[in-house]
Amino acid sequence: MSIPVAVAQQPHKIEIRGTVIDSTGKPVSGASVHLGQQGSPDVVATTTPEGIFAFEDLQYGTYLIKAEKNGLTSRAVTCPASARAIPEPINLILEPSDVAPANAGATSPSSAEAMAFADQPNFTVAGVTDWTAVGGHGSDASLRTSEALTRETLTLKPEGSTPNLSASSGSATIDASESRLRAAVASAPQSFEANHQLGKFYFHAGKYRESIPPLQTAYQIDPANHGNEYDLALAYRGAGDFAQARDHIQKLLATADSADLHRLLGELDEKLDDPLAAVHEDEQAARLDPSEENYFAWGSELLLHRAVWQAAAVFRNGVKAYPKSARMLTALGTALFAGALYDEAALRLCDASDLNPADPEPYIFMGKIEMAAPAPLPCVEQKLARFVQQQPENALANYFYAMAIWKRQEQLSSPEVIQQVETLLTKAVTIDAQCSDAYLQLGILYFTRRDFDKAISFYKKAIEANPQMGDAHYRLGVAYDRTGEAAKAQQEFQLHDEIEKSQAADIERQRREVKQFLVVLQKQPADPSVH
């Protein structure tokens, strides 16, 4: 993110607008939207049939906005408005007023209680469509951040998960075990047990392709052995043969309905470019077993295919069922950010960081949304300060905390704060010489001081660490222009344009490869004011 040069405050008027929606993403007509500011009475607007509200001719300041209708209310959203932070459209979600905070309670409900949402989802994924306009709201910078965080969300692991260490024993032991198992197969090639054990040995050693022949032989000897067929399906998955893996999982499901099999089938459907089948399998898994893993898989599949509001609904219910799941809270924060609910997204990520303050992932997510959001977010700076305190030698901790401090400043007028920012950024590049973002921000800092030589030096270091950083090339060009080096400036501007064009093409290609879900909402009680 680029921090602009300070701008003089002017008595301009601004507008705050947005949309009121229900928990399924459906616009709500006739909702009352309250706009408050300390020392002044609330101003109230009513939403249009499309759920839209607008407040015009407002002075710069910080406002608090919330909506209500028929006993439902939204969370209050803080909206700073200044020359440096022009408000983007806001989405307010109406919910029952007695909804508990996301981190309320210390225990998970019983399976029957957690089942309530999975049994009766208020939406159905009815199809897919090619990319036309990516779901979610906000600027292109916010959208790119949202897409990147979605990809990172898919890789989040449950707390306490550890990699498979079965192949980490000494090589002599492995060789002896392999020799013994191979000898058993050689002496009895039609032995189910010998082939099965050799296949399992290779599978647990991560040698998926080697595990397939003995497991396949065991399957041919005894196709009714479901444990062996399941191992064979996992081996095919590990080897990248997703079609064969899916065939075997479907055969297993024909004999026994299992949440784990549905979730695995959903994963394979996604890899075989059938997201519609995948999301239905994930939903069925959550119906059969509303576990943390099944909630997460279902919500992640919805989020990946830009069913943002539905993903948020699933994650929100997952958080209620598993309030101690940091990855569920992190995923909910990602979904809320995708819907431009920046303040609530920040709060959920802050909650996630409180569950395990030593885990860097929630801090990294909140640092990224802080940089992409149009205004400073609640609780983020405080949590990032803790991140630095706990992990002082983490380059990203220093970088994100520096950026949060800098963003809070309406103008670059406090030498003490700017010195703190510089110290943190300098430490970040000292820890990690490839931290290109920190080099770029140091260049911006020195450019604002009109120290163009140092700015040029830092921009060059940013480019050296990441030659594809278009913003660094552009700013280097501006710095060269200020020092009278027009030819060098033009060269950097040209490089910037080429990089931006190439990256924009890559992003559009990636977006077109992601099929979007078509979601049908369940019929709700007749209410002529709701559309």
Quick: pLDDT tens for 285-310: 999 999 999 999 999 999 999 999 99
Distance CA 220, CA 204 (A): 21
CATH superfamily of 433-531: Tetratricopeptide repeat domain (1.25.40.10)
Length of the chain measured in residues: 531
Distance CA 91, CA 477 (A): 38
Distance CA 274, CA 295 (A): 20
Distance CA 30, CA 413 (A): 44
Split at pLDDT 50, 70, 90, the class of 76 is confident
The CA–CA distances, whole Å, from 53 to 58, 79, 156 equal 14, 15, 37
**Within 391-513, where are the H helices?**
395-408, 415-431, 436-448, 452-465, 470-482, 486-513
Distance CA 347, CA 353 (A): 10
Distance CA 337, CA 402 (A): 21
The counts of H helices and E strands in the chain are 21, 11
pLDDT over 70 for what percent of the chain?
82
Distance CA 218, CA 222 (A): 6
| Section 257-275 average pLDDT | 95
Whether residue 369 is predicted with pLDDT greater than 90 in this model: the reply is yes
pLDDT tens track for 498-525: 999 999 899 888 888 888 888 887 654 4
| Section 237-257 average pLDDT | 95
Q: What is the Cβ-side half-sphere exposure of residue 418, based on CA atoms within 13 angstroms? A: 17
- Per-residue H/E/C for 153-209: HCCCCCCCCCCCCCCCCCHHHHHHHHHHHHHHHHHCCCCHHHHHHHHHHHHHCCCHH
Whether residue 141 is predicted with pLDDT greater than 90 in this model: the reply is no
Distance CA 485, CA 494 (A): 15
pLDDT over 90 for what percent of the chain?
60
Question: What's the pLDDT score for residue 314?
Answer: 95
Distance CA 522, CA 101 (A): 26
Question: What's the pLDDT score for residue 110?
Answer: 39
The vertex-107 CA angle with 102 and 112, nearest 5°, equals 95
Contact of 97 with 74, CB cutoff 8 Å: no
pLDDT tens track for 33-53: 998 876 667 789 999 988 899
Domains 14-138 and 433-531 share a fold: no
Nearest Cα neighbor of 421 from 446, 394, 453 is 446
Whether residue 528 is predicted with pLDDT greater than 50 in this model: the reply is no
Distance CA 437, CA 458 (A): 10
Contact of 373 with 340, CB cutoff 8 Å: no
From its phi and psi, is residue 292 left (phi > 0), alpha (psi between -120 and 50) or beta?
Answer: alpha
User: Across-strand partners of 46?
Assistant: 32
CATH superfamily of 14-138: Carboxypeptidase-like, regulatory domain (2.60.40.1120)
Nearest Cα neighbor of 517 from 328, 299, 317 is 299
User: Across-strand partners of 141?
Assistant: none
The CA–CA distances, whole Å, from 39 to 36, 62, 67, 316 equal 9, 12, 20, 34
| Section 5-26 average pLDDT | 65
| Section 185-198 average pLDDT | 95
In the block, tokens 């994100």 appear at: 400
3-state DSSP assignment of residue 439: helix
Contact of 377 with 342, CB cutoff 8 Å: yes
Q: 288: part of which helix (H) or strand (E)?
A: helix 275-288
Question: Identity (one letter) of the amino acid at 449?
Answer: R
Question: Identity (one letter) of the amino acid at 305?
Answer: H
Contact of 410 with 10, CB cutoff 8 Å: no
Split at pLDDT 50, 70, 90, the class of 81 is low
From its phi and psi, is residue 138 left (phi > 0), alpha (psi between -120 and 50) or beta?
Answer: left
3-state DSSP assignment of residue 92: strand
Distance CA 326, CA 87 (A): 30
Contact of 370 with 400, CB cutoff 8 Å: yes
| Section 399-419 average pLDDT | 83
Question: What's the pLDDT score for residue 175?
Answer: 62
3-state DSSP assignment of residue 14: strand
Question: What's the pLDDT score for residue 43?
Answer: 87
Question: Identity (one letter) of the amino acid at 402?
Answer: A
Distance CA 404, CA 411 (A): 14
Contact of 94 with 22, CB cutoff 8 Å: yes
Question: What's the pLDDT score for residue 11?
Answer: 41
Considering only residues 300 and 136, tell me which one the structure prediction assigns the higher pLDDT.
300
In the block, tokens 């009815």 appear at: 126
| Section 460-475 average pLDDT | 96
Distance CA 223, CA 252 (A): 11
Considering only residues 65 and 298, tell me which one the structure prediction assigns the higher pLDDT.
298
CB-based burial of residue 362 (10 Å sphere; 0-12 exposed, 13-18 middle, 19+ buried)?
buried
Distance CA 259, CA 233 (A): 16
Domain boundaries, the chain: 14-138, 433-531
